Amino acid sequence: MRNLLLIYLFNRVLTVKPSEEIETFKDLQVIIDHFNQYPLVTAKKLDYDLFKKSFNIIKHNQHLTEQGISKIIELKSSLNKGLSENLKESFTGFVSGDGSFNIKATKVRTGKIQLRFAVNLHIREQEVIKGLAKFFNFKDNSYIYSTDTSVAIQIVNTSDVLNIIIPFFDKYKIKGAKELDFTDFKKAAEIVKHKGHLTEDGLNQILVIKDNMNLKRK
Ligand SMILES: *[C@@H]1O[C@H](CO)[C@@H](O)[C@H](O)[C@H]1NC(C)=O
């Protein structure tokens, strides 16, 4: 019984299919030890922490008490309802670290401006990136780029940047230094949205923003 519950939780948490390989409590302990040694980052971590709490309750036989049971039920329900919310919050978390907002002026004279949002992660976070693409309703992994060691989501499509990415970060605030880059990026995007980049004045404003963000920020 305790194994079944944990295996169920584990499936929810890591969305792997471990049922064949993970059959005993001992196997789960091995997994916990593994992740203690090599901590998960990003979205999975929150879910994993919930899983680990449940594991510890059961390990110490506290699930046999009423208090332990209600604790597990509480953890399980926060897993169920919280997944997408967790994902959104973790996403802003790793954007704060590994995301970038860039403005590219490819052909300055013609006012060709590209707004680019990207997040680069280790290949082991592939599922997180895919989950996000799905969450944003981007079709068929169209914005996902992988190499042997890394995976990235990169969005340059102006209408997706304006209608999806910016509203998302208006709602789920980026923390730390990158917040300033987002603010600048958004100012430039506002100009693009109203076709200001096609005027000399608007284009110059964008170039000033571009020259004072990211690494060029003073
Ligand atoms: C940009 O995204 C919009 C909406 O998702 C889509 O209709 C359009 O075809 C895309 N443009 C390009 C150049 O891919």
Q: Which residues contact 159 (CB under 8 A, 6 or more apart)?
A: none
CA of 160 to the centre of ligand 1 (A): 7
Domain boundary among 23, 56, 82: 82
More confident residue, 170 or 40: 170
Q: Does residue 164 sit within a domain? A: yes
Average pLDDT over residues 151-160: 93
- The pLDDT tens digits of the residues spanning 73-86 come to 777 666 655 446 66
Structure tokens, 176: 């730390």
- Contact between residue 47 and residue 90 where contact means Cβ atoms under 8 Å apart: no
Domain boundary among 56, 82, 108: 82
Please compute, for residue 8, the number of CA atoms within 13 A of its CA located in the half-sphere on the CB side: 13
Domain boundary among 39, 55, 82: 82
Ligand 1, atom 10, lies closest to the CA of: 157
More confident residue, 130 or 155: 155
Closest-lying ligand 1 atom to the alpha carbon of residue 138:
5
Q: In terms of domains, do 44 and 96 share one? A: no
Count of all residues that appear for the chain in the document: 218
Q: In terms of domains, do 96 and 170 share one? A: yes
CA of 157 to the centre of ligand 1 (A): 6
Structure tokens, 52: 């680990």
More confident residue, 139 or 101: 101
Q: For position 16, what pLDDT does the model report?
A: 43
Q: In terms of domains, do 62 and 159 share one? A: no
Q: Does residue 139 sit within a domain? A: no
- Contact between residue 101 and residue 178 where contact means Cβ atoms under 8 Å apart: yes
For residue 153, what are the β-bridge partners? 119, 144
Q: In terms of domains, do 103 and 26 share one? A: no
- Contact between residue 174 and residue 182 where contact means Cβ atoms under 8 Å apart: yes
Q: Does residue 70 sit within a domain? A: yes
Asked if residue 137 has its Cβ within 6 Å of ligand 1, the reply is no
Q: For position 162, what pLDDT does the model report?
A: 96
Q: In terms of domains, do 77 and 176 share one? A: no
Q: Does residue 145 sit within a domain? A: no
- Domain with residue 41: its CATH number is 3.10.28.10
- Contact between residue 209 and residue 184 where contact means Cβ atoms under 8 Å apart: yes
**Residue 177 phi, psi (nearest 5):** -60, -35
Average pLDDT over residues 83-91: 63
The residue with tokens 């995007």 is 189
Q: In terms of domains, do 61 and 108 share one? A: no
- The pLDDT tens digits of the residues spanning 184-207 come to 999 999 999 999 998 889 999 999
Q: Does position 101 have pLDDT exceeding 70, yes or no?
A: yes
How many folded domains does the chain comprise? 2
Which domain covers residue 26, as residue numbers?
2-82
